[in-house]
Structure 1
Amino acid sequence: MIQKPLLISKQTIQAVQDRADIEDIVGDFVTLKRKGSGKYLWACCPFHDEKTPSFSITPDRGIYKCFGCGKSGDSINFIMEHDGLNYIEAIRHLATKYGIEIIEDEQSDEQLAEQNERDSLFIVLNYAKEYFKEQLHTEEGKSIGLSYFKERGFTTNTIEKFELGYSIDAWDGFYQSATKNAYNEDILEKAGLIVRKDEGKKYDRFRGRVIFPIHNVTGKVVAFGARTLKKDDKPKYLNSPESDVYHKSKILYGLYQGKNAIRQHDNCYLVEGYTDVTSLHQSDIENVVSSSGTSLTEEQIKLISRFSQNITVLFDGDAAGIKASLRGIDMILEAGMNVRVVVFPEGDDPDSYSKKLGSTAFKTYLEDNATDFINFKTGLYADESAKDPLKRAQSIKEIVSTIAKIPDGIKRAVYIKESSNLLSMDESVLVAELNKILISDRRKDDKKRVEETTGEKLLEELITETEVKGTDYNQLVKIQERESIRLLINYGFNEIEEEFKLYNYLLEELEDVEFITPIYKEIFEIFKKHLESGQVIDSKFLIDNSEGKVKTEVIDLVTERREISPNWNDKFQIHIPHENEQLEAVVYTNVARLKFRVIQKLITENLAKMKSAESEEEQDKMFRIHGELKKSEVELAKVLGIVVSR
């Protein structure tokens, strides 16, 4: 009997959940700050670009929630999302971090299939890497591929270090080799190694090109970059398509080979192409990565920030190309990182100039010519704007707009002062322009935040609403259902009367209420199911033992966006009661509101049926139902203090 591959045991997962400290884990990647009562920690979200912190951590619950992009989860979800790991890989990572012994059980068929496909992608990509390396030493590979590398000055050590290779100039050379070795065609296609035509014919994606394997941060090959050696062959560089293991916006070429040097030197050189990376390594400069010819992304910047807060961008000596790349500098500054710039003489790039100068002189050049972005940008615009007042004014605006990207106020002030000297411009003028930009950006952020929360009206606005023609009662019921579930999982164990728990009251009162929102219905049913077996669950149980929408929703329900400042009590002696101090009234009122909204929904539906009734008898029935529903609506409205028409 063949034994199934092993899956990490529930005991190990539980041990990781118990030991994982959300503050410790997230704090490795962002700076966390307390505000208000200190119950929550806040930071700028590591998953999207923002200037005002909307990323919240609740240490006592072990969860995070971003009110900007909506991402949420626990320690395991954070590592999965941030590092691009699957669930099992994240558990192993955290178990290793906290020294927890990993115990394994057999996987389910579904888990096995998912893991097998991911593993299979890595296996075929590794096979392809070895295949291309071998082809480099065939007769064709030596005369074309190896000859090209030698002409570029690549040493044997560099070729081996970056595992460079060659794809023979044949339609299906790799395909034939892979299938002969029993590799699955579907996996080969998903890995981007072969292309399947409509008529079913298969052929190699890479043909007659030198191959640059692309590694993830752990060293696994996830994709390939391939350069043609023929003048008329297009495109010049051909990359693997995205797959389950390769997302180009989250990968940096050379990071695996250079991450230790980046940490050691506390600086990362950023270049454009594969050969720029390899050439710098040959000049004994290993703290270098490439965005592989694509525009720099936020994910790539965050990837670098795991190893250093300092980036030095190396630019070819082409003014037009430099200006086109300035957005990358702004993004680095927005991420709160420090950026310096080195520009090479016109016509040169890091690869060509390192060869011209030699290792020692090239290192000296980088050290002597690294300049901060203000001097760099001022110099870039100086010549073209020297005799044109309008261009000079525009250049100054460009420089100040870049300074505005910096989240740290002290750094902004330092750069404004520096710019004032360099531009021979009164500092107050620059400060005024900076403030204009900051205020405008803040307004845009506020507008965006409002747009993101459209439809999520404050409950206080909704509960005082009288009958309005066209009101979406489904939405109103959904809001009250959400509030019921929030109270249940947050305060279920609290007593609202002597020896009478809140969950008892809610379950009794809502026994005949049919939830219409699938996610709230599902959570309610989970709660009831466990209660039937004698177990009363809470939010922690649901977070630890649920996946997908249930887990995300529970985290949303237990995370508060706003806190009451302790200053009200500490400084002004004004006591603002917490919700749990008036829980009895809160839960009673919520049940009444939910029933009220359900009744209104039923009235609306009944009226629609009445209008479409085909017989007088059916209309009379609907009319009687309407009368009973209206009575219930009026009674509940009195309890809530809401005015409705009779």
Structure 2
Amino acid sequence: MSNGRIPDEVIGAVLKHHDIVDVVGRYVHLSKQGHYMKGLCPFHSEKTPSFTVTPEKQIYHCFGCNAGGGIIQFLMAIEGYSYPEAIRHMAQEAGLDIRIDSSADTGSQHNPEKAKLFEAYELAGKLYQYILKNTEQGKEAMQYLRARGLSDKLIDTFGIGYAPPQWETLTQLYERRQFPLPLMEQGGLLSVRQDGQGFFDKFRERIIFPIHDWKGRLIAFGGRAMGDKQPKYLNSPETMLFYKSRSLYNMHLARPQIRKLRQLVLFEGYMDVIKAWAAGITNGVATMGTALTAEHAEGIRKQADEVIVVYDGDSAGQTAAYKSIPILEQAGCVVKIAIIPNSQDPDDYITNNGSERFVREVIETAVPSIKYKLLYIRKNYKLQEDGDKLRYIQNALKLIADVPSPVEREHYAKELAQEFHYSYEVTLQNLNEIRLQSEKNNRFGDNKAKAWNNVMNDATPRVRTPSLLKAYHNAERQLLAIMMYDPEMTRYVEEHLGDQFNVDAHAALAAHLYAYFAQGYEPNASSFIAMLQEEQLERLASSIAMMGNSHGVNHQVVDDCIKEIKKYPQQQLIQQKREEMIRAERSGDIIRAAHIGSEIISLEKQLKSS
């Protein structure tokens, strides 16, 4: 069995040097439960662990979101690797000298247009850096950056450049290097002239901040005007390389520290990230002026458990920070909010107060999300007036009631009672009444947006559970589970059933198993899954592998499964005939109805005797 151009022996050698518990354990806190390891799934938000690793089979499976596979699939999902990239990474970690033909990677980076755009962005980045550091045109921009407190080392670290005021500096370079100009325009590097005749540079007379993907490939630019030119910031448009709702500035540099600390510091802009980096905050990224999205949050959750939001201290920044809380918490992040006084932004605060105070008084004093919510809503009330005071207390209690931790609820309820000189018992009673009413109104569980994770300790979810699988479906899954661990039974099934599985995905998985064992491979769920290289089949195989092969397996069990599978098409035919008979009766065609009735009797006899 061949996996693209990566030989199976290469895959086998790489897998032999890695243990799935060690690999997954770098990303997920695992606890032993019998023969399994369990933890919170890194691919969706949950509070009740449904993510299971099976050391014996070297596979993982989440019973919540159905993610599953072996070590390779896990690294692809958590790191965003392509299949060959995951193999290369594992080989390097194991110290194996394995050469993989780059053409084996059929991923997006080998799309010719994307490859050309990556090359074009790299060239543009070098051009802008050269102009900033080595030309007369770049002197003013360099002076501006130094005045903003950026050292030469910072400028080099972040690859900052300068786009000159001329209209065709980059365009002419692309023409000389024979880059296709229409593609450069699609990639957000050039613009089309109004008359449609020719192209000109999109970025002119701006300081250029390169934007990279998490792998460090240049995918977009942010351009900042130095004077009164509008707009103040100009970002690349969305392209086949750059998606604003997913991209985070500086993720490629910050990622190692984020992964080490399991903490990410979230800013709004380039300069905030860069100045914070100089202050020692090397786990900072930014949303580049766009609103935080659920896609951003999901990407963040894969890298970090905790997020410190450090937005501008003005009203707009505080509102954006408030809106970020549910998005990040929905993804499963613990959220803290840093409060910057006097409406300053992080850049200003560092410039005015120094790096040490920024770390000590802003980052380290970030408050839990519930504390920030209480501070945020507080400014909407005149607390010296009894009416507003009571309304604030009631709304504060509603926020506190949503906190999942009883200890935190008690803490903030006590604070509220002490501040406004109310009895703690009365405050707690009010809080419990709000929680009780909330549970009556909305009896959902851990993850309100995800039906498969709505499990509560004291009640079942309202969302209707899926109906039981049909007999033939269960028989096919049981048969595949047996086959996965038994080459002899696989050959028997191939001979007596072949491709007659009723579910297409089951038929595809069976075909892979036939081929796998025909080439002499030993039963190994992880190796088998590694060779599928199709996400739907990988998930299905991991789910079936979790069933194991403890079915009291013998030929009678297998024969019963095959019989059940073969019955289904005939049952379907009988059902179709019954519907035809009903239509004939309704149309008054009694003779045809009687003829169909005879066919049904004959088919049912065949079914009973089979």
What residue identity is the alignment partner of 2:44? H
What residue identity is the alignment partner of 1:590? C
Contact 1:51 1:334 in 2 (8 A): no
1:173-212 residue pairs with structure 2 within 5 A?
Answer: 173-185=169-181, 188=184, 191-195=187-191, 201-212=198-209
* CA drift at 1:353: 2.0
1:633–1:170 distance in 2 versus 1, CA, 3 Å: farther
What residue identity is the alignment partner of 1:419? Y
Tell whether 2:143 aligns with 1:142.
Answer: no
Aligned equivalents of 1:182 and 1:288: distance in 2?
38
1:248–1:284 distance in 2 versus 1, CA, 3 Å: same
Aligned equivalents of 1:224 and 1:212: distance in 2?
6
Q: Which of 480, 483, 497 matches 1:510?
A: 497
* CA drift at 1:201: 4.5
* CA drift at 1:610: 8.4
Q: Which runs of 5+ in 1 are unaligned?
A: 1-5, 405-411, 464-479, 564-577, 614-618, 640-646
* CA drift at 1:103: 3.2
Q: Which of 598, 601, 609 matches 1:630?
A: 601
* CA drift at 1:278: 1.9
Aligned equivalents of 2:504 and 2:482: distance in 1?
22
Aligned equivalents of 2:110 and 2:265: distance in 1?
37
* CA drift at 1:192: 3.4
Contact 2:163 2:207 in 1 (8 A): yes
* CA drift at 1:599: 1.0
What residue identity is the alignment partner of 1:243? M
Q: Tell me the equivalent position of 2:37.
A: 41
Q: Tell me the equivalent position of 2:276.
A: 280
Q: Tell me the equivalent position of 2:406.
A: 413
Q: Encode CA deviations 1:414-447: one digit per residue, 9 max, x unaligned.
A: 3222202211153454356456657734187498
1:21-420 residue pairs with structure 2 within 5 A?
Answer: 21-35=19-33, 38-105=34-101, 107=103, 114=110, 119-137=115-133, 138-143=135-140, 145-185=141-181, 188=184, 191-195=187-191, 201-229=198-226, 231=228, 233-234=230-231, 236-244=233-241, 246-259=242-255, 268-297=264-293, 300=296, 309-319=305-315, 321-333=317-329, 337-366=333-362, 369-385=365-381, 386=383, 387=385, 388=388, 389-401=390-402, 403-404=403-404, 412-420=405-413
Contact 1:489 1:538 in 2 (8 A): no
What residue identity is the alignment partner of 2:208? I
Q: Which of 440, 445, 450 matches 1:442?
A: 445
Aligned equivalents of 1:363 and 1:534: distance in 2?
60
What residue identity is the alignment partner of 1:413? P
Number of aligned residue pairs: give it: 578
Contact 2:53 2:61 in 1 (8 A): yes
Aligned equivalents of 1:559 and 1:347: distance in 2?
55
Query: Which shifted more, 383-392 or 530-539?
Result: 530-539
Q: Which runs of 5+ in 2 are unaligned?
A: 418-423, 455-460, 585-589
1:379–1:107 distance in 2 versus 1, CA, 3 Å: closer
Aligned equivalents of 2:603 and 2:378: distance in 1?
76
What residue identity is the alignment partner of 2:138? G
Tell whether 2:566 aligns with 1:550.
Answer: no
What residue identity is the alignment partner of 2:26? D
Contact 2:273 2:286 in 1 (8 A): yes
1:321–1:106 distance in 2 versus 1, CA, 3 Å: closer
Fraction of identical pairs, as percent: 27
Aligned equivalents of 1:504 and 1:259: distance in 2?
48
Q: Encode CA deviations 1:557-591: one digit per residue, 9 max, x unaligned.
A: 3335xx9xxxxxxxxxxxxxx96137666544433
Contact 2:264 2:283 in 1 (8 A): yes
* CA drift at 1:213: 0.8
Secondary structure of 1:343's match? coil
1:497-576 residue pairs with structure 2 within 5 A?
Answer: 502-503=489-490, 506-510=493-497, 514-515=500-501, 517-528=503-514, 542-548=528-534, 549-560=536-547
Aligned equivalents of 2:435 and 2:72: distance in 1?
40
Contact 2:84 2:100 in 1 (8 A): no
* CA drift at 1:155: 2.9
Contact 1:378 1:422 in 2 (8 A): no
Secondary structure of 1:295's match? coil
Contact 1:492 1:538 in 2 (8 A): no
Q: Which of 478, 486, 492 matches 1:487?
A: 478
Aligned equivalents of 2:24 and 2:43: distance in 1?
12
What residue identity is the alignment partner of 1:414? V
Secondary structure of 2:81's match? coil
Q: Please report the TM-score for the alignment, with normalisation by the length of structure 2.
A: 0.79
Secondary structure of 1:214's match? strand
1:199–1:54 distance in 2 versus 1, CA, 3 Å: farther
Contact 1:271 1:277 in 2 (8 A): yes
